[in-house]
């Protein structure tokens, strides 16, 4: 970002308080879509923090938001962080003197230990989006930018700069995913600010993102219920890791034929087959189509994000 010259007011004061906080090394990034569906920046409204504290309720509401457009997507812990600006761009003259033109781009990279192709695929889905990022540092501070009153906003990334790749393990190294991006030239390091860890009561450092859950098989469908095997995307192709611990509040069933919500009577998690759930519902009409999704209003109660699936009543 171009730095404005303060011709009318002179330079800025260079004094500092005797004691003040600084950023620590980054441990996690939180990816967000930079703009919400309403066009506003997907930032933190500071007045929305209870007593000025970022508490667990607030964090859950963001990380487990049922709306993927406004949700926070924290990465696993990052290693070997680089977060540096390139050399300034200058114009050099014949007498070998030079003048400042603009700052070099700030590029970021990090490694996710035990990163795998599933996580890689989810990272790659970000590439075409307009991305913002918050950083969580080692001290538990949440770092963003403050360019509008009353908000800590995510830092804008340069379009199409986001990249992720798989680094396979070797005889001496563990498999990893790497991710890298470049901070937008519209951003200015002088605008970076943080919510200090002392003002964060939530378990922010180490916060996990949601895990995708899909319906592998739907069986035993009757007018009053069905069974469904719910698995995560992780594991072997014949041994997917099941989605365990889900319950009644984690689902919504919608009758797409009659356009009405079906109030589920009960959900039973199998004690024999992990991830197998039995739904009992009020009697539906033959040939109706049911759509099972996350609850319509969040936050989600678990860190599991169900991809909608369809049940056709026989």
Give residues in contact with other proteins (CB under 8 A). Answer: 224-225, 247-249, 252, 254, 261, 263-271, 278, 280, 282, 295-297
Q: Are strands 304-306 and 142-145 parallel, antiparallel or unpaired?
A: unpaired
CB-nearer residue toward other proteins: 186 or 261: 261
Nearest approach, Cβ of residue 144 and other proteins (Å): 30
The number of CA neighbours under 13 Å toward the Cβ of 118 is 12
Query: Whole-angstrom Cα distance, residue 195 to residue 137?
Result: 11
Nearest approach, Cβ of residue 287 and other proteins (Å): 21
3-state secondary structure of 122: helix
**What is the CB neighbour count within 10 angstroms for residue 135?**
24
111, 177 contact by CB (below 8 A): yes
**What is the CB neighbour count within 10 angstroms for residue 305?**
19
Nearest approach, Cβ of residue 230 and other proteins (Å): 14
179, 75 contact by CB (below 8 A): yes
- Of the candidates 288, 289, 292, the one whose C-alpha atom is nearest the C-alpha of residue 307 is 292
CB-nearer residue toward other proteins: 198 or 273: 273
Nearest approach, Cβ of residue 203 and other proteins (Å): 22
Query: Whole-angstrom Cα distance, residue 163 to residue 17?
Result: 39
Nearest approach, Cβ of residue 313 and other proteins (Å): 16
CB-nearer residue toward other proteins: 108 or 277: 277
Nearest approach, Cβ of residue 77 and other proteins (Å): 32
CB-nearer residue toward other proteins: 194 or 246: 246
CB-nearer residue toward other proteins: 113 or 264: 264
Nearest approach, Cβ of residue 278 and other proteins (Å): 6
Nearest approach, Cβ of residue 260 and other proteins (Å): 8
Query: Whole-angstrom Cα distance, residue 153 to residue 188?
Result: 13
112, 208 contact by CB (below 8 A): no
Query: Whole-angstrom Cα distance, residue 90 to residue 88?
Result: 6
No. of H helices and E strands in the chain? 2, 24
Query: Whole-angstrom Cα distance, residue 272 to residue 132?
Result: 43
Instruction: State the DSSP code for 7.
Output: T
The helix or strand, by DSSP H or E, that contains position 31, with its residue range, turns out to be strand 26-33
CB-nearer residue toward other proteins: 198 or 263: 263
CB-nearer residue toward other proteins: 66 or 129: 66
Query: Whole-angstrom Cα distance, residue 288 to residue 311?
Result: 8
CB-nearer residue toward other proteins: 278 or 303: 278
């Amino acid at each position: 970002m171009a730095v404005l010259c303060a011709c009318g007011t002179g330079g800025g004061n260079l004094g500092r308080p005797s004691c003040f906080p600084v950023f620590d090394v980054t441990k996690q990034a939180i990816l967000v879509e930079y703009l919400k569906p309403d066009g506003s920046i997907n930032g933190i409204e500071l007045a929305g923090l209870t007593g000025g504290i970022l508490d667990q309720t607030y964090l859950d509401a963001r990380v487990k938001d049922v709306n993927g457009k406004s949700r926070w997507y924290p990465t696993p812990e990052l290693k070997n962080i680089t977060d540096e600006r390139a050399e300034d761009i200058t114009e050099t003259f014949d007498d070998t003197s030079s003048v400042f033109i603009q700052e070099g781009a700030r590029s970021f990279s990090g490694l996710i230990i035990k990163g795998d192709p599933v996580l890689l695929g989810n990272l790659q889905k970000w590439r075409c989006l307009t991305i913002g990022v918050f950083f969580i540092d080692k001290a538990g501070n949440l770092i963003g930018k403050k360019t509008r009153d009353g908000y800590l906003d995510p830092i804008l990334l340069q379009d199409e700069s986001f990249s992720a790749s798989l680094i396979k393990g070797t005889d001496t190294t563990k498999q990893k995913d790497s991710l890298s991006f470049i901070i937008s030239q519209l951003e200015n390091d002088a605008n970076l600010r943080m919510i200090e860890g002392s003002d964060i009561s939530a378990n922010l450092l180490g916060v996990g993102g949601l895990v995708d859950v899909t319906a592998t098989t739907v069986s035993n469908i009757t007018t009053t219920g069905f069974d469904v095997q719910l698995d995560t995307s992780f594991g072997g192709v014949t041994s997917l890791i099941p989605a365990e611990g889900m319950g009644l509040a984690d689902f919504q069933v919608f009758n797409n034929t009659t356009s009405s919500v079906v109030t589920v009577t009960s959900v039973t998690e199998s004690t024999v087959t992990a991830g197998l759930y039995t739904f009992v519902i009020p009697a539906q009409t033959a040939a109706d189509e049911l759509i099972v999704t996350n609850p319509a209003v969040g936050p989600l109660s678990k860190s599991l994000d169900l991809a909608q699936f369809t049940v056709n009543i026989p």
